[in-house]
C-alpha cells in the first residue's frame, strides 16, 4: 500500500514537472519568436538610429525586406556623388537618388545625404573651362554653389543630414589638408563655403565633416584641428562623421573611446557613418589578389570579428549621449565595397548579415546588452 502511494505521488510529481518544463520551453520559444520580429533599430531604439548605405539593388525583394526590418535610416552609397548625380555642367541624373529617397519616405526611413564636397568621384568639368584650362577661383566657387544649391534644394525636408565635406585630411601624417583640385584652385576657403552654401539652402539640415581612420591618434588630432577651426570661425557645422571602416585588428577600445571623448569636447553630434569590420588588415593602396591568397571566412577570423563587433557596440552604448546615429556601409556580405577595394576580387565578410541575408553570430553579440 505504501509502495503504491509513493509510486502514485512520484508519477504525479513527474507529470507536474513535465507540464512545468513544457510551459518554460513554450515561453522560451515565444521569446525567440518575438526576438526574431525585432531588428537592430528596435534593439537600439533607446540609443540611436541604425542606418545602412544603399543603392538601387537594395530596394526590392529580400534585401528590401531585410532593410525595412533592421534599419530606420539610409545613406545613399553612390547616387548623390558628383560623378553620378551631376556628370556634366547642365546635366543632372536624378533617377537613382530620387528612387532611394522616395523608398525611404514611403517606409519612414531617415535619409543621410552623401556627399557634397570630395576629392574623388568628381567629373573633370568642374575644374576646366572650354579650352581645357583650370577655371578661376570665382568660377569654381560658383559651380560648387550651384551644385550644392540644386542638390540640397531638391531634397530639402527629405534629407535630414549631409556629409558636406568628405576626407579633407591628408593620409600623410606630415601634411594637414589633402591636396586636391578644389584646394589648388580655391584654397582652404572652399571648405567653409561648402557648409555655408548647404546651410543657406536648408537651414534645418544637419551638416557633417566625414572622414576615415578618425580614431587613430595622429589623424584624430588633425581632424580635430580642422573641425575646431570651422567651429571657431562660425561655420555652420553640426557634427563629425566617423566612418568606421575598421577591421578585426583595429581600433582598440582605448583608441575608440579617446576619439569619441576628443570629438565630443567640441560640442558637436557624432555619427558613425560607414561601419564595417574587415577580416583583413588595413591597406590603402589598390593591388591584385596574390596567388594562393585565401579569402574564406575561417572560424578563427569569425571569432575575432564577433569579439570586435561586441567591443565596438559596447563602446557605442557607453557613449550614447554623444552618438546620434550609426550607419553600416552596405547591407550584407552578399555585396561589400571591400570585395573590390583594396584588393580586386578578394571576398570580404565585414557585415552582420551573411550572403544569404541571415544574421551572423556577431549580430547576437551586438544586440546583447549584458556587457
Instruction: Please tell me which residue in 274, 283, 285, 310 is annotated as part of the active site.
Output: 274
Please indicate whether residue 200 is annotated as part of the active site. Answer: no
Q: Which of 63, 70, 77, 167 is catalytic?
A: 167
Q: What are phi and psi of 262, to 5 degrees?
A: -65, -50
* 274 annotated active-site: yes
Using alpha carbons, list the distances in angstroms from residue 193 to 77, 116, 149, 189. Answer: 24, 11, 12, 6
Q: Quickly count: other Cβ atoms within 10 Å of residue 95's Cβ.
A: 11
Grid look-up 556577431 returns: 362
Cell of 139: 568660377
Nearest Cα neighbor of 304 from 255, 359, 363, 247 is: 247
Residue 251 preceded by cis peptide, ω within 30: yes
Separation CA 53–CA 67 (nearest Å): 10
The span from the CA of 250 to the CA of 275, in Å, is 13
Dihedral sign computed on CA atoms, order 213, 214, 215, 216 = positive
Distance, CA of 29 to CA of 27 (rounded, Å): 5
Taking the mean position of all CA atoms in its chain, how far away is CA 145? 26
Cα(116)–Cα(249) distance, integer angstroms: 31
Would you name the residues annotated as active-site residues? 167, 274
Amino acid at each position: 500500500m505504501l509502495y503504491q502511494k509513493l509510486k502514485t505521488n512520484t508519477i504525479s510529481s513527474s507529470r507536474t514537472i513535465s507540464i512545468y518544463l513544457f510551459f518554460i520551453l513554450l515561453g522560451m520559444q515565444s521569446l525567440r519568436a518575438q526576438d526574431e520580429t525585432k531588428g537592430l533599430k528596435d534593439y537600439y531604439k533607446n540609443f540611436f538610429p541604425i542606418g545602412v548605405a544603399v543603392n538601387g539593388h537594395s530596394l526590392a525583394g529580400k534585401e528590401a525586406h531585410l532593410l525595412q526590418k533592421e534599419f530606420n535610416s539610409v545613406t545613399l552609397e553612390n547616387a548623390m556623388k558628383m560623378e553620378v548625380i551631376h556628370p556634366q555642367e547642365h546635366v543632372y541624373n536624378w533617377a537613382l537618388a530620387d528612387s532611394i529617397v522616395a523608398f525611404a519616405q514611403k517606409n519612414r526611413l531617415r535619409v543621410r545625404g552623401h556627399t557634397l564636397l570630395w576629392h574623388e568621384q568628381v567629373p573633370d568639368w568642374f575644374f576646366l573651362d572650354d579650352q581645357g584650362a583650370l577655371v578661376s577661383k570665382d568660377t569654381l566657387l560658383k559651380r560648387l554653389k550651384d551644385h550644392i544649391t540644386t542638390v540640397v534644394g531638391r531634397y530639402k525636408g527629405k534629407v535630414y543630414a549631409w556629409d558636406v565635406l568628405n576626407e579633407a585630411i591628408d593620409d600623410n601624417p606630415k601634411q594637414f589638408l589633402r591636396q586636391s583640385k578644389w584646394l589648388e584652385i580655391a584654397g582652404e576657403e572652399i571648405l567653409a563655403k561648402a557648409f555655408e552654401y548647404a546651410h543657406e539652402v536648408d537651414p534645418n539640415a544637419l551638416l557633417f565633416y566625414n572622414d576615415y581612420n578618425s580614431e587613430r591618434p595622429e589623424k584624430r588630432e588633425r581632424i580635430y584641428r580642422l573641425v575646431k577651426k570651422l567651429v571657431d570661425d562660425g561655420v555652420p557645422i553640426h557634427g563629425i562623421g566617423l566612418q568606421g571602416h575598421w577591421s578585426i585588428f583595429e581600433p582598440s577600445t582605448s583608441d575608440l573611446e579617446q576619439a569619441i571623448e576628443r570629438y565630443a569636447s567640441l560640442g558637436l553630434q557624432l555619427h558613425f557613418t560607414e561601419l564595417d569590420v574587415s577580416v583583413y588588415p588595413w591597406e590603402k593602396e589598390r593591388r591584385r589578389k596574390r596567388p594562393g591568397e585565401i579569402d574564406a571566412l575561417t572560424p578563427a577570423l569569425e571569432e575575432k570579428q564577433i569579439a570586435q563587433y561586441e567591443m565596438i557596440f559596447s563602446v557605442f552604448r557607453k557613449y550614447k549621449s554623444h552618438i546620434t546615429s550609426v550607419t553600416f556601409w552596405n547591407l550584407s556580405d552578399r555585396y561589400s565595397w571591400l570585395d573590390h577595394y583594396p584588393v580586386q576580387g578578394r571576398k570580404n565578410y565585414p557585415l552582420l548579415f551573411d550572403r544569404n541575408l541571415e544574421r551572423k553570430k556577431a549580430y547576437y553579440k551586438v544586440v546583447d546588452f549584458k556587457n
